[in-house]
Structure 1
Amino acid sequence: MMPRVLIVDDEKNLLSALRRHMRAVDYEIITEENPGKALDILRRENPAVLVTDLKMPGMDGIELLRRAQELQPDCIRILMTGYADLAAAVDAVNHGGIFRFLAKPFQTEDLQHAIDQAMRYRSFLESDRELQILKRTQSAMEGMIHAFVDLVETRDPYTCGHQNRVARLSVAIGRKAGLDDDRLHGLRLAALVHDIGKIGVPFSILNKPGVLSEAEMAIIREHPETGWGTLRHVDFPWPIAEVVLQHHERLDGSGYPHGLQGDAICTEARIIAVADMVDAMASHRPYRPALGVGAALKELRAKRQTQYDARFADICVELFDDGYRLIQDTAAAPQTG
């Protein structure tokens, strides 16, 4: 529907002239001579812009605009007035939340210009409101993700901090690889929940001090699909569920759960695969002590073209050569900015 503009003035001839001269516009013009009837219109619908005269019988324009603000706070309000009442019009703009005023007599083009400005201002306000809603939604989404992280680490204390460290290293690799800020943000969130599927793995298996049996390993290998199932109905602006599903896939098809190869594995999953392996080998596990970053980087160099994306593997090695260190705590979430 076209946006609507309500023009209120007790001068019938003025309203007729405005209707004649304002036909080729991108909005629908509604005119009303009676301020009381204009209020009835405002109770039924929300015009984009309200233009009203100041002096009218029964209710002046300032009162109409005040009541219009109560009924339709999003409606942008313009006041028309004669030169004798300019002081009242200026006061209404300064203190009454009125967008602007027009001094009579004016050209039709002046009114059209004022309405066009009001339309742009309303569009700006709507865009800003949508942005604030998006920010609140994103904040809630990130809160949910951190709750997932806490849930996994409560069940698997040996990997406490693992997801945060993988997220931090993944973002460092992604940034050096040239990913833009929005994509880095999605990468960070995916890395934070890459092991969310472990909520479906029995505690006794997660924390078993000895070597896992084939049956136990089969259960462990279900965690990417469990994570995907947990996240797939969440409407993220990034493919987080797919990244979680693929983070144990390997370029040569030796990974799980689906044995994907090469470019069938998404970029973010290939980055997280590198960071995940490095942190896992460098950290303590129930079944072995930490092997150290050196051993992890040696493994990365050996499998950089078979299991791991060579580009991201090489970037990871360069980061550590340049002094990058794994943070062994969860005090702060990594940032992308």
Structure 2
Amino acid sequence: MLIRYGFEIRMYAMATMLAVLATIVLVLIEAEKNTKRRHLLQFAYAALVALGMLTLYYTIVIWLTHFAYLIWQTVKSKKPILRQEFWLMYILAVLLFTPWLFVAIKQFTNGALAQISEPMTVNNLLGVFSFNLLYKPIWQLDQIFGLLILGFITLFVVLLAKKIKNKQKNTSFLIFMAAGPLLVEILICLVKPMYVERYLVYSAPFLIALIAYLVFETRSKQRYFSMVYLFALVGFGIFNLQQVGNFNFQRMQKPDIREMATRISAISKKENKSNQAGTTELPILTDSPYEAIELGYYLPNNKIYFYAPYEELGGGYAPLNKSEFKIFNEQDLRKFNCVRYVYYDAKMTTILEDAGFSKTKNQDTEHALKYSDFCRK
């Protein structure tokens, strides 16, 4: 998972880095005896928490895990909870996040969240391990890979049980950091289904750290066996990631935006050469802002329109709400004589036909992302 989302220019890699940095700072705060340096670290932690929330709201599972650990440590030490300094860190983090708070509330209430989330079922819980180790959703595991994951879970539980008996502080913290985000996710999903495998990618380093700690703290023979077993699993995972590539398991599609942009560019050049008098490049029409935004990166000089039959666009699409390239209904298609329709699911085919367009012979429907030229009859 870390490799998969590490090469995407999205917020997941940044969120992972912030979660790890904040966790390191939290550990340093606990160990720091100098008051001035501790206060500086506390300010840094609060800033990282706020920055993490600004980067990705779902990093809250990490901050709640930190908070739960601090509460647990306080109760265990029999100290007064309300007099602890960590309250000031979180109050400061909230204050730093406050300028964005109303925007966040609006986003949570205007349908900005993707409609791809699921409840945290037992299958999805097991999928956390199958994704992180093999880069396979649980429903894709065959008998062999299923047994490998079951073997890993058994090994993990055995090693963990042995370390829990020792009651070491390091073990407690790593258990909190590995299990905490999953438990928070389960609690969130009791209110509303919010699980998507990539939403927990920033908790993966802590699961890896716990596994590594358990392996290297065990006896030599068990350690070597565990290392070989884990490296074999990860090796399978890397190989599978190489084979699958950038695959979207929610849409069950492999994005072909760059390939589509290359095909459109080649077609446009060919059309321009065949027409000596020159030709106006066909406007591109996509099924949604999703395809239009990504195509716009590769085809900056093309006019790319997108279908969005909503009075208002929410979330990440909000800046496109009043875009001149937004196609709201059939009437907005009147300005076109021909369009190059780019689509995954062909949502607009009927709308185009009702508006008086018909499909021409120029099309490519052999890939996940397709295109068809439509012109007025």
Shared fold (TM-score, shorter chain, > 0.5)? no
TM-score by length of 2: 0.21
Structure having the higher helix fraction is 2
TM-score (norm 1): 0.23
Q: Which has the higher contact order (CA 8 A, sep 6+)?
A: 2
Rg (Cα) greater in structure: 1
